[in-house]
Structures are given as structure tokens and as C-alpha cells.
Amino acid sequence: MRQLLSSILAVALITTAAEAQTVRKVPGDFPTIQAAINAAQAGDTVRVAPGIYVENINFSGKAIQVVSAAGADVTTIDGGLADAVVRFITQEGPGSILEGFTIRNGRGLLNDGGGIRIASSSPTVRRNRIVNNSGCSGVGIAINFGSPVIQGNIIRDNIGSGCSGGVGGGGVLVLGGGSAQILDNIISNNMPAGLYGGGISLWAAGTPVVRGNIITGNRVQYEGGGIGMVNHSAAQIVQNVIVGNSAQQGGGIYWSGSNPGPTLTNNTIVDNDSNQGSAIYSDGFSGSTPVTNNIIIGKTGQAAFSCGSGSGTNPPTLTFNNVFSDQAAAFGGACPNVIGSNGNISVLPNFMDRVAGNLRLLNGSAGIDAGDNTASALPGIALDSVP
């Protein structure tokens, strides 16, 4: 009897596991992605065949995977300018996964997200192309009070419209507390209608991690062409390449009002455009902001690192950086000149091809093996996947 009961129990468990891993095919089993989501149970996979799907989908709190069968190049979800293309707004967690789509033609309202809207949720968004969406802030992706993983995506050409204010984020907006992870993405040519963060806006954003991204060609009306941080964001900004972005203040990075402030480690910040801090503009209480092992190079004729009056008596702490500007002072505004102390140098780096955007250092460059191996949040490998 016990053996029979055990056998019945084993069959029940196997059946339950099989049911929890159903693959629901679009359009083979369901005509739309949303129809497949509506039918899915926790653990299911919605697998989408190549094609263009004009719809706005909502994960509805389900721990399911929505994946393309053949990748983002041939599988598109088009929002038809009706709403955000994809919504995670029902407390989704890491098991809610979106992977392998082009997400385009979405429209967001104030801080709502045009391409992807995440609110009080923590999904996984990976290997997508989030392009050509519109809205006010968080035009590509808007995160409101969540801790999602945004990894390996291309986020580009998302242009703000429909408002004159907002908190920015042409590519990505992180608004409110949480621990969002923005990892290994290409974030390029975005512009919000809001005031901050052409590529990424971190607004009272808790403890986000921004690591391993290429952030290029983004622009914003006021502060933070590449990354803008306002209102106490204790972000880890680690090993990003931030090049060719533009803003009135902080062409590459801007922060203010942060205590504790962000941590900047092992970033390459080159040839961004702003007369008030080509690479970085720091304001507010910044003494708790460590800036370590970074290559900080201003655009010709512009100071690389500038400080506002709020940082004058409490500037960020710079150690083992290369801060350099051609035909301009390395530091501007209220920033003290710290070249020659705490391992900081000011030397034009020997890049492989600066004009073409290849910012790898040539052998013999003064920046090689010149950093601090005990720096906070130090990455284990370089972007080229070498130690």
C-alpha cells in the first residue's frame, strides 16, 4: 500500500512539474502574445515566432518567460503609439522574463515609460532592442520603485515628447527606492523631454548598479548627458564607457544633492560635450562620493571635471584617476585641483583609436596598472573579459 501510494504521489509530482513548464506558442497555439500570457501559468514559457506583433502586453503578475524563437532582429512587438509596449505593473519578480524582442513604437505619459513600464516590480529584461519609443521621461524603460535586472539590451533612439518637464531618462529612468541593475547594455542616441539624464536618469533611485554599459550619443536639455543623478541616489557606477553625450552641465555624468552619493569606479568618460563639466559635473554634498580608477577626459577646450558651489567645501574624493583636458584646465568651477595627490594624474591617454571610438589603452599608456586594487565595487574583469 505504501509503495502504491508513493507511486501515485510520484506521478502527481511529475504531472504537476510538466504542467508548470508548458510552452505556449504564438501564433501556433495563440493568435497574440497577450492571449498566450492570459492562458499561461507560473513557470510557463510563451515562445513567439518571427514576425511583427502590434499589441501592448501586460505580464499581469505572472512568473513566466516571454521569449522570441529567433531573436530580436526578426521578432518585433510594436506598441502602435497606444501605450507602453510591455508592462510589469503587478509586483512581478525575477521569474518574469522578457527576452529577444525588438520593442518599438510605444508611448508613455509622465514618467511612465514608452517602451517598457516597470512599477513596484522586479522582472528580468534581457537581450532586447528597445528602440524608437516616445514619451516624457523613461522613454525607453521607466522603473518606478522596483529592482529589475536590465541586461544585455540595445536601448537607442528613444526620443521624448509630450511634456516640458519630467525627471528625464531618455534610455532608462530609475525613479524611487530599489536596487535596479542596469548591466551590459548599449544605451545610445536617446533624449528625454525631461530635464535630467539623456541616457540614464537616477532620481531618488535607492541603490542601483550601473555596470558594464556603453553609453554614447545621448543628450538632454539640462543635466547629465550620459547619466543624471538627483536626490540621493547611492548608485554604483562601475566600468562603463561614457562617450559623446551632451548636456548643459555634466556632458558625461551629473549628480547633485547626494548624501551618500554615488560610487564611480573604473569608468572611461571621454569627449562628452558641456562647458560646465565635459565629463563630470558634481554639486551638492559630495564628500561621501568616491571617484576611483577612472579615465576622465574632457572635450577639447572644456574642463573635464567641474563642481558647483554646493561642492565647494565638500568636494568628491578622487583617487587614482586620470583627469585631463586639452586646451583647458582639467578641473573647473569649485573643484580643487587634486592632480599629483592620491594617485591622480593628468596625461593624455594613448587610445587605440579615439576618433573611431576605440578607447582601449595602448601598451605603455600611463593609465595601465596605475589604479587602486582595493577600490570599492572593483570589477573582476575588464569589458574585454580579461582580468
Instruction: Tell whether the model's pLDDT for residue 4 goes beyond 60.
Output: no
Mean pLDDT across the stretch 294-320?
89
Instruction: Tell whether the model's pLDDT for residue 305 goes beyond 90.
Output: yes
| Mean pLDDT (the chain, rounded) | 91
Give bridge partners of residue 210 from the DSSP assignment: 182, 237
Name residue, grid cell 544585455.
Answer: 152
Q: Is the dihedral angle over the CA atoms 327, 369, 225, 103 positive or is it negative?
A: positive
Confidence of residue 225 (pLDDT cuts 50, 70, 90): very high
Confidence of residue 311 (pLDDT cuts 50, 70, 90): low
Query: In this structure, how many other beta carbons lie within 10 angstroms of the beta carbon of residue 387?
Result: 6
Confidence of residue 186 (pLDDT cuts 50, 70, 90): very high
Instruction: Tell whether the model's pLDDT for residue 5 goes beyond 80.
Output: no
Confidence of residue 173 (pLDDT cuts 50, 70, 90): very high
> What percent of the chain is predicted at pLDDT more than 90?
78
Q: Is pTM, for the whole model, over 0.85?
A: yes
All cell numbers assigned to 3: 509503495
| pLDDT, greater one: 9 or 20 | 20
**One-character DSSP codes across 187-234:** EES-B-SSSB-SSEEEES-BS-EEES-EEES-B-SSB-SSEEEESSB-
Instruction: Tell whether the model's pLDDT for residue 227 goes beyond 90.
Output: yes
Sheet holding 141-144, edge to edge: 57-58, 86-88, 116-119, 141-144, 172-175, 200-203, 227-230, 253-256, 280-282, 305-307, 331-333
